[in-house]
Amino acid sequence: WLIEVAACFEEDLVMRAIAGFVCLCTHGRLRCSDGNLIVALDTEAMYKSDGVLSGGYIEASMAGNKTSKTKEKQTTFLPIVVPLRGLSGLDWFAAFVAARAALGLPAIPQACEALSAPMVGNRVLVLPSWRANGFRFAEPMSSEEVTAGLVAILSKAGVPSALTANLASHSMKTTWLTATGKAGLGSDVRQMLGYHL
């Protein structure tokens, strides 16, 4: 829940965006590289007309993934589902979208816009790489950058360095898959939740 709080309230806008990206990847059971393969979001049903969160999920489309071996899988949209309600109950996704906008990043295309377009060529990165002089729009945020941001956020929240020493961005994909395994969900369900089926 610390990351969800950081996604909503962290003072540093870049760190707030990184926290939102971590929430997106963690709740979506995605690797860092998978998060930046998202090409479209379906957010139309998420909010009521008064701006209050109504839906429970973001539906998105990913352009292949790290383990796609065949040409068909590399050029087929993979549907992903991300629960919007994490442990804190905060609307971390709206905060992530707002942080991206405040940083001058283009909006992630809606499904109706992106899925009719070819998968090749320029596309909007969910979170581009960040350097001291700004975003580098040609590069996705690296796993090393996300790991450094994650450790910095947790350290700022008072988590001891001994608990973050072995933390890596790959933990984002495995967090809920591990928790569901410990809760007794079978491997077939966890494979589906991790996009391995």
Residues 103-146 have pLDDT tens digits of 888 888 776 555 555 444 446 788 888 876 677 767 888 888 88
Q: Using N-to-C axis directions, what is the helix angle for 13-28 and 171-182, rounded to 10°? A: 40
Give yes or no for residue 68 having a pLDDT over 60.
no
Contact assessment for residue 61 and residue 40, using Cβ atoms and an 8 Å cutoff: yes
Residue 129's DSSP bridge partners are 136
- Spatial distance between the Cα atoms of 175 and 74, rounded to a whole number of angstroms: 25
Of 10-14, 41-45, 95-99, 112-116, the least confident: 112-116
pLDDT at 119: 47
pLDDT at 89: 84
Compute CA distances 129 → 1, 118, 134, 150, 168, whole Å. 25, 24, 9, 15, 17
Mean pLDDT of 160-183: 82
Query: Where are the extended beta strands (E) located within 16-148?
Result: 38-42, 57-63, 77-83, 128-131, 134-140
**Average pLDDT of the chain, as a whole number:** 78
pLDDT at 99: 92
pLDDT at 49: 56
76 versus 2: the higher-pLDDT residue is: 2
Q: Is the dihedral of CA 161, 171, 91, 124 positive or negative?
A: positive
pLDDT at 53: 56
Of 17-31, 35-49, 136-150, the least confident: 35-49
Give yes or no for residue 30 having a pLDDT over 50.
yes
52 versus 1: the higher-pLDDT residue is: 1
pLDDT in tens, 77-94: 677 788 887 888 888 888
